[in-house]
């Protein structure tokens, strides 16, 4: 069941096993039968508790809601197939308000109060950075679905992993050749003024420089800004391409005002889908986006060459061919990012089973088992595409999609290769003590 905000109330679904402690048989909803062994008497039968750090409120709320839907669908699929090593999985949810300080409190609460096996789910990079120390202090594995380079930079700690979604440095490196060859050589960047935006600020210029293109201006905008017109006069007249990546509840306002500022005479546009996540591309005022291009992790719109795994994943998480909630075309998903929740949970499953994980005393084994992973084949567990994993930097590498706006839809026109986004590790988490 979902509450009025569209979040899942897991205490009212078969995903929760708290009621088992009160005398309900696990997964069946039946009264205790003779021979039933309580979880406290059989640790191997206890559910695996995953602390879901959700952006239920704050600027990340739209992502948080869809991250929750995707995670609930993945947990259901895992449980329907027998769980992890025969144990059911339970999500325990806490709202971090998309706030770094609160995020750290939530991680500590999962470790000390809820006593979850791991923490999972965080997106916004400033929240990940603020929360990571609490994961290290409490020695609880922290699996994030973020995108920033903060994990792969090896500036966090050994308990933090990003195995289900690629990072900005890799994404930019993969796409820079296409941007330079197809969009233009003189690029102005517009990005959010916090850690995620700084990754774009720092990694786009050298990536384009290697392709014979230049970033001629960089414009940072506070992520809580509600109007953007005052920033647009800073865009140099000689700009060929506006590279934009904005986040938060005002993204629709951003793209509308950008269109109003330029009218029909605009530079080429290359956007990260963050600028339009959870927003209907056919909203009034967005007509000017026709012909522009976007980066997408996983495509919002169903594509003619979608694999059977991709189709099954979309059905499981409840999005239609346009990337909106089934039955509600106005409820547009965060498809470009939320697949990472599905894939990360399957990475957790694989690592726990490899580690022979039985309880919190095996957290160090889980860390080492995750670091030992090498690659993930495309399929039901990884529908976005194949990936490799570098255990030294706790980061995966995968394909990227470049999509063109045509007729009010997004059509994938280019897919990168895994090797396009590979880079040399900047450190090695495995040298840190557990």
pLDDT tier at 182, thresholds 50, 70, 90: very high
Query: How many other C-beta atoms lie within 10 A of the C-beta of residue 217?
Result: 15
pLDDT tens digits, residue range 133-160? 999 999 999 999 999 999 999 999 999 9
Alpha carbon distance 192, 272 (integer Å): 12
pLDDT tier at 107, thresholds 50, 70, 90: very high
pLDDT tens digits, residue range 375-402? 999 999 999 999 999 999 999 999 999 9
Closest CA to 396 of 146, 182, 179, 132: 146
Using DSSP bridges, classify how beta strands 118-120 and 142-143 pair: parallel, antiparallel or unpaired.
Answer: parallel
Alpha carbon distance 42, 330 (integer Å): 46
Tell me the average pLDDT of the chain.
91
Name the CA dihedral angle for 103, 104, 105, 108, rounded to a multiple of 10 degrees: 120
Beta carbons of 285 and 315 less than 8 angstroms apart: no
HSE-up of residue 341 (Cα within 13 Å, Cβ side): 34
Alpha carbon distance 299, 355 (integer Å): 33
Alpha carbon distance 70, 73 (integer Å): 5
**Predicted pLDDT of residue 314:** 98
Alpha carbon distance 196, 231 (integer Å): 19
Query: How many other C-beta atoms lie within 10 A of the C-beta of residue 333?
Result: 27
pLDDT tier at 404, thresholds 50, 70, 90: very high
Rounded to 5 degrees, what angle do the CA atoms 61, 256, 98 make? 15
Q: Is 279 helix (H, G, I), strand (E, B) or coil?
A: coil
């Amino acid at each position: 069941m979902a509450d009025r905000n569209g979040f899942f109330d897991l205490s009212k679904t078969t995903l929760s096993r708290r009621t088992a402690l009160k005398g309900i048989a696990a997964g069946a909803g039946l009264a205790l039968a003779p021979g039933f062994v309580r979880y406290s008497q059989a640790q191997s039968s206890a559910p695996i508790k995953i602390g879901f750090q959700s952006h239920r409120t704050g600027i990340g709320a739209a992502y948080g809601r869809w991250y929750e839907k995707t995670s609930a669908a993945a947990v259901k699929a895992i449980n329907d197939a027998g769980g992890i090593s025969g144990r059911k999985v339970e999500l325990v949810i806490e709202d971090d308000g998309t706030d770094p300080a609160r995020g750290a409190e939530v991680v500590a609460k999962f470790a000390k109060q809820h006593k979850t096996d791991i923490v999972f789910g965080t997106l916004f990079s400033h929240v990940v950075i603020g929360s990571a120390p609490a994961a290290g202090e409490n020695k609880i594995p922290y699996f994030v679905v973020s995108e920033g380079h903060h994990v792969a930079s090896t500036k966090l700690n050994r308990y933090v992993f990003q195995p289900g979604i690629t990072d900005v440095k890799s994404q930019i490196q993969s796409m820079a050749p296409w941007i330079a060859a197809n969009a233009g050589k003189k690029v102005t960047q517009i990005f959010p003024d916090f850690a995620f935006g700084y990754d774009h600020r720092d990694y786009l210029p050298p990536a384009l420089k290697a392709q014979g293109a230049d970033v001629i201006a960089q414009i940072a905008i506070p992520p809580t800004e509600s109007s953007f017109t005052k920033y647009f006069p800073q865009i140099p007249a000689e700009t060929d391409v506006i590279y934009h990546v904005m986040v938060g509840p005002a993204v629709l306002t951003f793209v509308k005002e950008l269109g109003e500022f330029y009218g029909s005479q605009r530079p080429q546009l290359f956007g990260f889908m963050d600028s339009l996540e959870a927003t209907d591309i056919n909203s009034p005022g967005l007509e000017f986006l026709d012909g522009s291009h976007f980066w997408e992790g996983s495509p919002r719109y169903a594509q003619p060459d979608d694999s059977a795994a991709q189709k099954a994943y979309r059905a499981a998480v409840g999005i239609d061919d346009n990337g909106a909630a089934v039955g509600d075309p106005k409820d547009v998903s965060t498809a470009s990012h939320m697949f990472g929740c599905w894939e990360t949970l399957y990475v957790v499953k694989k690592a726990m089973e490899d580690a022979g994980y039985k309880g919190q005393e095996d957290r160090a084994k889980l860390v080492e088992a995750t670091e030992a992973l090498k690659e993930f084949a495309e399929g039901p567990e990884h529908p976005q595409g194949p990936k490799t994993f570098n255990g030294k930097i706790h980061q995966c590498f995968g394909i990227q999609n470049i999509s063109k706006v045509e007729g009010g839809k997004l059509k994938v026109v280019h897919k990168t290769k895994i090797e396009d986004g590979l880079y040399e590790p900047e450190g090695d988490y495995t040298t840190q003590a557990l």
